[in-house]
Amino acid sequence: GENVEQHPSTLSVQEGDSAVIKCTYSDSASNYFPWYKQELGKGPQLIIDIRSNVGEKKDQRIAVTLNKTAKHFSLHITETQPEDSAVYFCAASKVINAGNMLTFGGGTRLMVKP
């Protein structure tokens, strides 16, 4: 099955700095890569996603890159703010039996210090 590795497990940055989280996946059949932000006491919320036919996608301060050949994808957050503090999960996904099979990475706890 799919295996998703995520690094680092914790990341502490100063407000205004950039944060980068990296993931690798193993199954070449995975074709969709969402990123989720999970705040304390809440469910994961989608913040950005990328499909395997695209190399890069940006939404304001958040960008994601995908290297399909190397099976790497990364999340970049610029100009970090204290409200960016949360746990971030990458995931790799493919369709099985009409369901979207998501395999999550282990998570990164991001702390933005004011």
Using only C-alpha atoms, the chain has a radius of gyration, in whole angstroms, of: 14
Dihedral of the alpha carbons of 68, 72, 92, 90, in degrees to the nearest 10: -150
Q: Cα 77 to the chain's mean position, in Å? A: 10
- Cβ-based nearer residue to another protein, 41 or 114: 41
Interacting residue ranges for another protein, rule: CB under 8 A: 31-32, 34, 36, 41-46, 49, 51-52, 89, 93-102, 104-107
Question: How far apart are CB 16 and another protein at their closest, in Å?
Answer: 28
Query: What gap in Å lies between CA 62 and CA 23, rounded to an integer?
Result: 16
Q: Dig out the tokens for 30 from the structure.
A: 């995975």
- Cβ-based nearer residue to another protein, 72 or 104: 104
- Cβ-based nearer residue to another protein, 28 or 45: 45
Question: How far apart are CB 63 and another protein at their closest, in Å?
Answer: 17
Question: How far apart are CB 100 and another protein at their closest, in Å?
Answer: 4
